[in-house]
Amino acid sequence: MSEVWTLAEQHKGQLKSISFELLARGRKLADNLNEKLSSVILGSNINNESLQELILRGADKVYLVEDPTLEHFLVEPYSNIVEYLINKYHPDILIAGATTLGRTLMPYVAIKVNTGLTADCTELEIEELTGNLLQIRPAIGGNILATIKTPKHRPQMATVRPKSIAIPERIEGRQGEILKIDVPSELLKSRTEILGARNAVDEAMGLEDADKIVAGGRGLKKSDNFNLIKELAELLSAAVGASRETVDRGWISYPHQVGLTGKTVSPKLYMAIGISGAIQHLAGMKTSENIVAINNDPDAQIFQVADFGIVGDLFEIVPAIIEELRKRKDS
């Protein structure tokens, strides 16, 4: 029986959240096809509780490959092993996160197994009559949504943006199978060696994990006015986000960019200030729990996804909000 596979990711033996997000998408596909859902994880000293968590959140089976050389991601051994697993077990579908690992690994694997790959999908569906995977992603600068499929080659492969879907709930007592796979030692060889690693430090490093984000767009008119966004974010204990155009204009650095070519976020509160709501930006924040939009154009696209909208001059509205927040803080 064919299977739907998701590619789990780990850091120092602990699974990353993208591993569980992919299960939400994979479970829907597997149920539609009446197939099993399996997760593939490569690493070293993977925490057993994390492996069980994959099963509790939807996986029927976990394929585990462990070796000290797999502690850090290197594309040659990782792609060798995934190719080996594909040729041995013949999955129908393989999906991964559009992360540094996924974006690097999946093209290698696609070439090795002679199949297609669609990157940065926003939706995945099953075609009713054929059972093919419909891989839906923005195209032509985000102006259309293209539907792509791989009818003649397997596995069908795609990457999806992190934070684009909620992590599935745990089902206590759910049962599954964990298979530890031994692979030939030559697959572990790499021409690249990791000499060391250090954490990057940036003021926007926590943007993807922030509970609250205040984001500014072209409506701010100039870089100095981003101080309004930063001041409001500080009062709300929020991270600072930005639209692509403000980054392209040099008003703020790229790590703050939210959208198709930036970061995908899903905070409890997302304030979009002076952002019109281009499809590229919406793709990066539309899953936020509460969206508040401030824009002087009542027809701005951002209002189509906003839970609360304020039509007016942001240079009057934002200072008023800041003043009110300061009063509350002082009292």
The per-residue pLDDT for 100 is 84
pLDDT tens digit sequence for 263-272: 888 889 999 9
For the entire predicted model, the pTM comes to: 0.72
Mean pLDDT (the chain, rounded) = 90
Half-sphere exposure for 84 (CA within 13 Å, toward CB): 18
Burial 25-48 (b: 16+ CB within 10 A, else e): bbbbbbeebebbbbbbbbbeebee
Question: Which architecture characterizes domain 3-188 according to CATH?
Answer: 3-Layer(aba) Sandwich (3.40)
Superfamily of domain 207-330: TPP-binding domain (3.40.50.1220)
**Cβ-based neighbours of 216, under 8 Å, separated by 6 or more:** 225, 226, 228, 229, 240, 241, 242, 243, 246, 251, 252, 273, 274, 275
Confidence of residue 106 (pLDDT cuts 50, 70, 90): very high
The per-residue pLDDT for 205 is 56
pLDDT tens digit sequence for 180-190: 999 999 999 98
The per-residue pLDDT for 330 is 81
Q: How far from 61 is each of 20, 54, 166, 180, CA to CA, in Å?
A: 14, 9, 21, 11
CB atoms near residue 182 (< 10 Å): 8
The per-residue pLDDT for 85 is 96
Domain with CATH 3.40.50.1220 in the chain: 207-330
Confidence of residue 239 (pLDDT cuts 50, 70, 90): very high
Share of the chain above pLDDT 70, in %: 96
DSSP 99: S
Pairing of the two strands 290-295 and 269-273: parallel
The per-residue pLDDT for 258 is 92
Confidence of residue 312 (pLDDT cuts 50, 70, 90): very high
What residue type is 161 in one-letter code? R
Question: For residue 38, which of 81, 121, 95, 98 has the smallest C-alpha distance?
Answer: 95
pLDDT tens digit sequence for 49-70: 889 999 999 999 999 999 999 9
pLDDT tens digit sequence for 198-223: 665 455 557 877 889 999 999 999 99
3 state SS of 72: coil
Confidence of residue 196 (pLDDT cuts 50, 70, 90): confident
Please tell me the least confidently modeled range out of 79-83, 113-117, 158-162, 269-273. Answer: 158-162
3 state SS of 170: coil
Please tell me the least confidently modeled range out of 82-91, 143-152, 153-162, 201-210. Answer: 201-210
Pairing of the two strands 123-126 and 177-180: unpaired
